[in-house]
């Protein structure tokens, strides 16, 4: 008499979690009752031919050929694969940096995910304050000393030199800001007449703008220049910005626009044979 035998029953599940990973084998393919033997795999699972099991692809990966028996997991763009026995078992996101190419200093927020296209590469998502974004290289560079961003917080903000600086341009970008240089000299002789203006006070590069005057020089507020007092005169208030030249005793002033421009000594002439000392004269021919 023939006895009927029950067919083997297989599973197709994850060995760790017990979750279903595919369709269990049946019939002759299920060679041992209760065994974990798969006929085909669920989506996002690959088939291990040596054990006839299905394993989930790791996070951040997909099957290269879904539906094919020998499909394998490949990491998504922006991830580094970890291989075990020729199989991808983990996908780690690329790690980017965002540092100044010249100094190595932290320059902004590194790119992540799909924007970080190469592991360990210097690719920025956004820049720190006073750094500009270079779209061609996706990097951030510090604005040079003496400059600031024209539109802080905007991707295409650029560095502009502060007032009182001359820009140096490289490839359409400000790479240096040199402070204006002023002079403080006599327009006729070129001799120094005082201390040149600097910083914001030097409003035009190469201009003759004075911050303070040398001894025996007066300050012309209309032109910000210093002029020597004429011979035979002294400053009425040395060291004061608005000091003016006054003729010494025994001299006659010549005034131009309210300023003493010459001091002429009183003459010793007829009818005097001998005059009083110059410092005591009050007129010409002061005997």
Sign of CA dihedral 174, 176, 177, 183: negative
| pLDDT score of 4 | 66
- The string of DSSP letters for 70-97 reads T--EEEPTTEEEEEETTEEEEEEEP--B
pLDDT tens by residue, 82-104: 999 889 999 999 999 999 877 88
How far is it, in rounded angstroms, from Cα 55 to Cα 71?
12
Q: What is the chain's length?
A: 287
pLDDT tens by residue, 229-248: 999 998 887 767 778 889 88
The 3-class SS string of 34-69 reads: CCECEEEECCCEEEECCCCEEEECCCCEEECCCCCC
| pLDDT score of 273 | 80
pLDDT tens by residue, 256-273: 888 888 989 888 887 878
Angle formed at CA 51 by CA 67 and CA 17, multiple of 5 degrees: 80
CB neighbourhood size of 180 (10 A): 22
CB neighbourhood size of 209 (10 A): 19
pLDDT over 90 (residue 194) = yes
Q: Name the average pLDDT for the chain.
A: 88
Average pLDDT over residues 139-143: 92
| pLDDT score of 259 | 86
pLDDT tens by residue, 1-37: 556 678 899 999 998 889 999 999 999 999 999 999 9
pLDDT over 70 (residue 64) = yes
Question: pLDDT category, 150, cuts 50, 70, 90?
Answer: confident
- The whole-model pTM stands at 0.56
How far is it, in rounded angstroms, from Cα 65 to Cα 155?
39
| pLDDT score of 243 | 81
pLDDT over 70 (residue 124) = yes
| pLDDT score of 287 | 73
């Amino acid at each position: 008499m023939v006895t009927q035998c029950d067919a083997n029953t297989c599973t197709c599940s994850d060995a760790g979690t017990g979750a279903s990973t595919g369709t269990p084998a049946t019939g002759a393919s299920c060679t041992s009752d209760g065994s974990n033997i798969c006929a085909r795999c669920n989506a996002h699972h690959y088939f291990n031919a040596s054990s006839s099991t299905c394993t989930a692809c790791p996070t951040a990966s997909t099957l290269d050929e879904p539906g094919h028996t020998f499909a394998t997991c490949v990491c998504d763009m922006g991830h580094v694969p970890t291989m075990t026995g020729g199989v991808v078992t983990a996908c780690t996101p690329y790690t980017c940096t965002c540092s100044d190419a010249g100094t190595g200093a932290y320059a902004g927020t590194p790119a992540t995910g799909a924007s970080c296209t190469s592991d360990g590469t210097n690719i920025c998502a956004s820049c720190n304050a006073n750094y500009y974004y270079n779209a061609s290289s996706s990097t951030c560079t510090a604005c040079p000393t003496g400059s600031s961003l024209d539109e802080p917080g905007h991707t295409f903000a650029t560095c502009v030199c502060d007032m009182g600086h001359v820009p140096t341009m490289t490839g359409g970008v400000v790479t240096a800001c040199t402070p204006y240089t002023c002079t403080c000299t006599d327009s006729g002789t070129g001799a120094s007449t005082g201390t040149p203006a600097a910083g914001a006070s030097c409003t035009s590069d190469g201009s003759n703008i004075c911050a303070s005057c040398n001894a025996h020089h007066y300050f012309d507020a209309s032109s910000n220049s210093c002029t020597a007092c004429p011979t035979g005169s002294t400053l009425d208030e040395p060291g004061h910005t608005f000091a003016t030249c006054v003729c010494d005793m025994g001299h006659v002033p010549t005034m131009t626009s309210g300023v003493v421009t010459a001091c002429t000594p009183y003459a010793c002439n007829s009818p005097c044979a001998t005059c009083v000392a110059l410092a005591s004269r009050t007129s010409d021919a002061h005997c």
